[in-house]
Amino acid sequence: MRLAPTTGKLLLLAILAGGFPTFRLSRPYQGFQGETFVDIPHGASTLTMAGMLAEAGVVPSRWDFVLARLVERGRVLQAGEYRFNHPASPMEVLDRIARGDIFYYELVVPEGMNMFDIAAAIEDLGLFKANQFLAVARNPALIRDMDPHAPSLEGYLFPDTYKLSRHTTPEGLCRIMTGKFREEWASRKRNEDVHKTVTLASLVEKESKLEAERPKIAAVFENRLRIGMKLDCDSTTIYAALLDGRYSGAIHRSDLASDHPYNTYRHAGLPPGPIANPSLASIRAVDAPEHTDALFFVLRPGGSGAHEFSSNIAAHEAAAARFRRARKK
């Protein structure tokens, strides 16, 4: 059946009218240079979002986003900060906001990192400068209620993966990390001296690569503390050099001879505070050290990370000699 000329024109107009919005909503657009961020607040209306996106150059006009919203009106749009760095169609933009594809920095803090390591990782992310973080981390105020003897936040910046926004401040990050520590500490349901426990756990963390050995290494340190024997812990000597800004990647004789209070080759007892941020496993190792009379440990040859433990100096020196010979080979 042939259509009358007027009817054909009307049908053609209807097809064009129906197809044009579909084409416009699926066409990629970029009205900004490089990258742009849009921070959508909680409770924002569709018109508010549309205006923000259009002003940032993410969509051609606010009506494009409104139209996309009408097409996908059943989806829930999520507040948060979104980063746009390439052309995207209004439908793609709406899909990202509906999925909650929010921009964040991911800060990974492995067990045993110290505040200097964390500061360097933060600067590498581009969140803020290392010295800005260290200025806050060196102040123990955020943990003073738990540990009145803490010289800094070292030990209380709990190892975890943190998702951070561009608006996170050094103080805000330290609050998040010490808050995580409080949460994990409370999960133990124990009331030991937090300063001693965390300080000792930080030594255990730095000296043990194998989780199974941590209770035994904790026991060695406890045995030494009990009889007034110096801990002779390399990691504390390194930390002393870090605090002084003179660590070069290796321990020198001058480091071992240093009178720094963190140098456990010169001073008996625990150092003034933690030297790293220990895991919950190391804290639990200090809670329940293994029953042993060992006073020494040295790495076993082979690179497994395992240690040989001894209860007297003669056995320890023999084990150390075996390790040195194997390393030379």
The predicted-structure confidence for 303-322, as pLDDT tens digits, reads as follows 788 999 999 999 998 888 88
CATH of domain 24-99: 3.30.1490.480
The Cα–Cα gap between 270 and 48 comes to 58
Cβ 241 vs Cβ 255: under 8 Å:
yes
pLDDT per residue over 142-175, tens digit each? Answer: 999 999 999 999 999 999 999 999 999 999 999 9
What predicted TM-score, i.e. pTM, was given to this entire model? Answer: 0.83
Give the whole-angstrom CA distance, residue 216 versus residue 204.
9
Of residues 22 and 63, the one with the higher pLDDT is 63
**Per residue in 161-214, pLDDT tens?**
999 999 999 999 999 999 999 999 998 877 679 999 999 999 999 999 899 999
Which residue ranges does the chain devote to CATH 3.30.1490.480? Answer: 24-99
β-partners of residue 118 are none
